[in-house]
Amino acid sequence: MIHLKNIRKTYESPGRVSHALDGVDLHIRQGEVFGIIGRSGAGKSTLIRMLNLLERPTQGEVRVKGEDITRFSDARLRQYRQGVGMVFQHFNLLRSRTVIDNVCFPLRLAGMARRAQLERAHEVLALVGLSEHAGKYPRQLSGGQQQRVGIARALANRPELLLCDEATSALDPETTQSILRLLLDINKRLGLTIVLITHGMDVIRAVCDRVAVIDAGRIVESGDVLDVFLHPRHAVTQSLLSESGVDAEGWRDLAQAVRGRLLRLSFRGDATVQPMLSRASRELNLDLSILQGSVSRIKDTPYGQLVVSAQGAEPGLEALAGMFAAEGVECEVLRP
Ligand SMILES: Nc1ncnc2c1ncn2[C@@H]1O[C@H](COP(=O)(O)OP(=O)(O)OP(=O)(O)O)[C@@H](O)[C@H]1O
């Protein structure tokens, strides 16, 4: 659906040139939830704003359904932007307008008649669970409710693409989860494509299908969220994961203290709940001990990773990898 090709964005101020984006290539598929994660100043906001041209690239193409939107006329761009909703970290609601008027705002800009505006606004308020708050002012609502208004406003014009600029960063953990559930529900029910930026891996894990990690204006790693969580390659990805409690390397401190072969096992889906360790121990006559492990979910898919030491006779050790492979478990030898 969206292809970013060799995007560069340079900001120049007296005595300083800043390369906010430095040759970004990215492909976002129709109907997916795509996450862009990186540290502060990495270029996330600049990147997401390329998708509705709130920022224009210094160089490169932003292709949406085959067309380079950087070449659109002003009128064409206005029309394109009506098909793109945006949700902001600090909600950006009009404080002096009621909830319903905030949601009507983009519909009014699009030239819709007042009656139709109200009808559509009530529809999207129902979708985000705020029907009974239509006549209130933003200050009368909690942060989570205000963000729901922001989402309703972004959906009013029936966009095909929803951009979320740190949409949950100003919210507490519980409210964050409820907003993320709402975004997932919208993605499934309306089939719209969602692109979000965040600095938290928990957000990526909860809602994204695919992820790109950005650092100093470059995409340093990208792929299916499961693959990136199970096999992070870049140091930035590894440290972002370890900050969110997914530490793939913690076993190293214990490795000296145990004997035997060290294996890293990666499970996904049904394999996560199979009693494979006890079976391997029983059938191959091995002693297995766990040095590190985690089991969690990415969207609806359970996944897990274990580091185990295996001790026993050579034939049993040799058969172990094959037994795991037959069950769809990846087995990596960390120490022979
Ligand atoms: N209008 C601007 N003028 C000059 N430099 C800018 C401008 N906007 C962004 N930058 C610079 O571009 C780089 C990327 O900024 P950007 O806001 O995209 O990062 P970010 O990853 O979204 O950071 P944060 O998480 O802190 O919002 C930074 O070095 C920033 O200082």
d(CA 101, CA 125): 11
Predicted pLDDT at 27: 97
Q: Where is 301: in which H helix or E strand?
A: strand 301-311
Class of domain 2-243: alpha beta
User: pTM for this one?
Assistant: 0.89
* Ligand 1 and 46: CB distance under 6 A: yes
> How much is the mean pLDDT over the chain?
92
- Rounded to the nearest 10 degrees, what angle do helices 114-127 and 143-155 cross at? 130
Query: Cα of 183 to ligand 1 centre, how many Å?
Result: 26
Q: Is any ligand 1 atom within 6 A of the Cβ of residue 285?
A: no
Is 20 touching ligand 1 by the criterion CB < 6 Å?
A: yes
**Domain ranges across the chain:** 2-243, 252-335
Do the domains 2-243 and 252-335 sit in the same CATH topology, yes or no?
no
Q: Is residue 258 very low, low, confident or very high in pLDDT (cuts 50, 70, 90)?
A: confident
CA 134 to chain centre: 30
C-alpha of residue 47 to centroid of ligand 1, in Å = 10
Domain 252-335 in this protein, CATH class: alpha beta
Round to whole Å and give the CA distance between 138 and 129.
15
**Residue 196 predicted with pLDDT over 80:** yes
Q: What is the mean pLDDT of residues 280-301?
A: 87
Confidence (pLDDT) at 250: 73
Percent of the chain with pLDDT over 90: 70
Amino acid at 3: H
* Measured distance CA(321)–CA(331) in Å, rounded: 6
Condensed to tens digits (0 to 9), the pLDDT of residues 12-31 reads 988 899 999 999 999 999 99
- Alpha-helix runs per DSSP H in the chain: 44-48, 74-82, 99-109, 114-127, 143-155, 173-190, 201-207, 225-230, 235-243, 252-255, 276-284, 314-326
Cα–Cα–Cα angle for 61, 66, 68, nearest 5°?
30
Residue 304 confidence (pLDDT)? 86
Q: Is the pLDDT of residue 271 over 80?
A: no
Mean pLDDT along residues 139-144:
95
Ligand 1 neighbourhood includes 18 CB (under 6 angstroms) = yes
> Taking residues 228-247, what's their average pLDDT?
88
Q: Which pLDDT band holds residue 336 (cuts at 50, 70, 90)?
A: confident
Token pair 């938290």 in the structure block, residue: 200
Residue 237 pLDDT: 95
246 compared with 325, residue with greater pLDDT: 325
